[in-house]
Chains A and B, each alone.
Chain A
Amino acid sequence: MRDSDFALRRLHSLLGIIPIGLFLTQHLIINHFATQGVEAFNTASDFMGNLPFVLWLEWIVIYIPLMFHAFFGLYIAFTAKPNTNRYGTYRNWMFSLQRITGVFLVIFIAWHIWQTRIQKALGADVDFDMMADILANPFMIAFYVVGVISATFHFANGFWSFLVTWGITQSPRSQRISTYVMMGLFLALSVIGIRAIFAFV
């Protein structure tokens, strides 16, 4: 870590919002096409899957930032000593939940990439039926619901700390207001994500 620690942690904070947070938002919104039927979802998914330079886009916008954020995040999570039993405050719970959801998301996202993107690389078609097959299993529905809610929580709460980390929200009042804004973001993204999951069921 040494002297580069500051730069690495700031990079970790930035990458969580740009591009990962933006990609998550985009991903959940595209998924929402599933609520308009099989045809609408397949059109959207074909459009996304056939973008020009799609492999470059995937590596630069998704895989490299996501891997750095995930592995450096694991280091951050496992060097903390959560103490919510001593201080049961809202912020201390958010601190612990941010780390718990982060670790869970590493597992969830790895599984999700295996089930979709890697299967595509092995020759499967990414379409409505692929997700419908996956979500035919009730255990998978639960896994995906928890995964999506963890992701929206981790993004919204991470956005709150991003604003503090970069010195944008400084006073207690500004931090309180951003808490409410991020609660709204969490709820909105969760509704979009959950609606999409149940459109496949």
Chain B
Amino acid sequence: MAETAVKERNEATAAKTVQFKIQRQDSPDSSPYWETFNVPYRQNMNVISALMEIRRNPVNSEGKQTSPIQWEMNCLEEVCGACSMVINGRPRQSCTALVDQLTQPITLEPMRTFPVVRDLVVDREVMFDSLKKVKAWVPIDGTYDLGEGPRMPERKRQWAYELSKCMTCGVCLEACPNVNDKTNFIGPALISQVRLFNSHPTGAMNRDERLDALMQDGGLAECGNSQNCVVACPKGIPLTTSIAAMNRAASVYSFKRFFGSDHMVD
């Protein structure tokens, strides 16, 4: 009986195909074009397995041989952020984009907020440069052993863990109307990272340096409160709360910096 059921299911799905409409671009400077593909349906397939199928057999819907599509992937479990792309109009990770849950034709586009390298591959280096700008780390290097840092309350660690889930995927930057080629806004993710490192007990010892960086051109003040970031974030990070929290910290800090204070880091 079970064998018959499996056979029937395979027969039913064998005839089914999934249509993909993919925006391609051969080089960083060339103009984009669309290409459609009909991919044989398999159960539980995601966008990445469909792209792998196209790579295995790079023939488009007109039956013409074409070049395989380029995309990035790494962890395949939505923790690395590498496979982000615009799927059916919305930026998200292609590993967790299940074909059964998407309306067809499924459109794939690169996240054009970033420079396109080829097809669906984008260069997210601007985000990594911004992480350096805002000093998103805890400095502990020295010439001798500094010993243990201050303890972090467990409940604080638990909410800070939520902020640490950020994988620099770039989806919130793609969703933000104020991150574009006319501005140099660093984007919501970076502001939330400052909040993460400024709430770390050892990281807080340099909180003024990170706030200084956030108050530079392209920083915190460029947020326009459209709140798309918190809607788009695949990890459910409270980005708008982080932005408002950093706004409060920057308000207090800007007064301290202007008038002078003995409490720059406490």
How many of chain B's residues have a CB under 8 angstroms from any CB in A?
38
A167 touches B218 (CB 8 A): no
- Report Cα–Cα, A48/B238, bound state, in Å: 48
For window 1-36 of A, CB contacts with B under 8 Å fall at 1-3, 5-7, 9-10
What is the CB-to-nearest-CB distance from B253 to chain A, in angstroms, rounded to a whole number? Answer: 10
B238 touches A172 (CB 8 A): yes
B-contact 0/1 string along A86-104, CB 8 Å cutoff: 1101011011101000000
B216 touches A92 (CB 8 A): no
B244 touches A170 (CB 8 A): yes
A167 touches B232 (CB 8 A): no
Q: A116 interface residue, CB < 8 Å from B?
A: no
Contact stretch, chosen from A74-82, A105-113, A125-133, A189-197? A74-82
Contacts A86-B89, A172-B238 given; does A167 touch B248 at CB 8 Å: yes
A82 touches B177 (CB 8 A): yes
Q: B205 interface residue, CB < 8 Å from A?
A: no
A-contact 0/1 string along B209-225, CB 8 Å cutoff: 00000011111111111
Interface of A is mostly: helix
- Report Cα–Cα, A170/B242, bound state, in Å: 8
What is the CB-to-nearest-CB distance from A65 to chain B, in angstroms, rounded to a whole number? Answer: 18
Whose C-beta in chain A lies nearest to the C-beta of B221?
A: A9
- Report Cα–Cα, A80/B178, bound state, in Å: 5
B177 touches A10 (CB 8 A): no
- Report Cα–Cα, A5/B223, bound state, in Å: 12
Residues of A within 8 A of B219 (CB): 5-6
Residues of A within 8 A of B246 (CB): 167
For window 222-251 of B, CB contacts with A under 8 Å fall at 222-228, 231-232, 238, 240-241, 243-251
CB-CB nearest 3 A-B residue pairs? A167-B248, A95-B226, A9-B221
- B residues near A (Cβ < 8 Å) are 89-90, 175, 177-178, 180, 182-183, 215-228, 231-232, 238, 240-241, 243-252, 254
